[in-house]
């Protein structure tokens, strides 16, 4: 379960205030995959970061049960001087995972070849994303936070990513941000639309997508 209680987030940029969430109250039950829709700049990634605990709300709070991933594919916690293997083991130890099993999973999944044993600073952005997605999927969480990550890589890697993600969803929930409505339909059970600081909850996926598409035309 993840519950938003009077959640507000306001940024001040160049003296101007922008509120991306305004006194939002909403509860999501455990084990469902939620599609998070909204135009660019609406605050989708901000909401994921607050759920992950990496960003504080301006006011209100988020109450949760179970374990929550960092935003899947986020590589900001990796150390550039460490190799892919060393970064994988480091993250694994933090989350109490079997580091040997995690390394074996990530090496097979990410397909980085010899680069897995090279410093992260030599990686392209795509390689970082593949490593980060592999580490994220290799550690079991009750809720996964996914921000556009399955668009990384070629068609084969995207298909493999979606397959692994679906497998995780059999025993976990998720919040998924994607510009691909096909992916939202495929991976999610319900959806919310973030617009002008408010979250609109839909059990009817097509109604949520219609709302989102209407906003995009405005």
Per-residue pLDDT at 153: 64
Asked if residue 147 and residue 48 are part of one domain, the reply reads yes
Instruction: Note whether 60 and 148 are same-domain residues.
Output: yes
Instruction: Tell me, yes or no, whether 162 lies in a domain.
Output: no
Let me know: does 151 contact 52? Beta carbons within 8 Å.
no
Write down the pTM of the prediction. Answer: 0.87
How many domains, the chain?
Answer: 2
pLDDT tens column, 93-117 = 999 999 999 999 999 999 999 999 9
Residue 73 in domain: no
Query: Which residues span the domain enclosing 58?
Result: 1-67+141-155+167-218
In a domain, 40, yes or no: yes
CA distances from 183 to 8, 18, 56, 162 (A): 28, 29, 29, 9
Residue ranges of the chain with pLDDT lower than 70? 73-76, 149-153
Contact status, residue 208 vs residue 186, Cβ threshold 8 Å = no
Q: What is the pLDDT of residues 45-58, one digit of tens each?
A: 999 999 999 899 99
Predicted pLDDT at 161: 82
**Mean pLDDT, the chain, integer:** 91
Contact predicate 116/87, CB 8 Å: no
């Amino acid at each position: 379960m993840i519950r938003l209680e009077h959640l507000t987030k306001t940024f001040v940029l160049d003296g101007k205030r922008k509120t991306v969430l305004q006194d939002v109250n909403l509860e999501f039950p455990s084990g469902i995959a939620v599609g998070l829709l909204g135009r660019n700049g609406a605050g989708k990634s901000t909401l994921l970061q607050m759920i992950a605990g990496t960003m504080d709300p301006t006011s209100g709070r988020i109450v949760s049960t179970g374990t929550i991933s960092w935003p899947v594919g986020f590589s900001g916690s990796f150390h550039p001087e460490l190799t892919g293997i060393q970064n994988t083991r480091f993250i694994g130890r933090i989350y109490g995972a079997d580091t040997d099993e995690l390394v074996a999973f990530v090496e097979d999944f990410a397909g980085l070849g010899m680069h897995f044993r090279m410093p992260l600073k030599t990686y392209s952005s795509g390689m970082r994303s593949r490593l980060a997605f592999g580490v994220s999927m290799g550690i079991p969480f009750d809720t996964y936070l996914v921000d556009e990550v399955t668009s990384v890589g070629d068609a084969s890697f995207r298909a493999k990513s979606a397959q692994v993600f679906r497998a995780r969803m059999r025993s976990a929930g998720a919040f998924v941000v994607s510009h691909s409505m096909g992916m939202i339909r495929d991976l999610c059970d319900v959806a919310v639309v973030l617009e002008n600081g408010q979250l609109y909850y839909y059990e009817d996926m097509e109604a949520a997508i219609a709302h989102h598409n209407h906003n995009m035309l405005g």
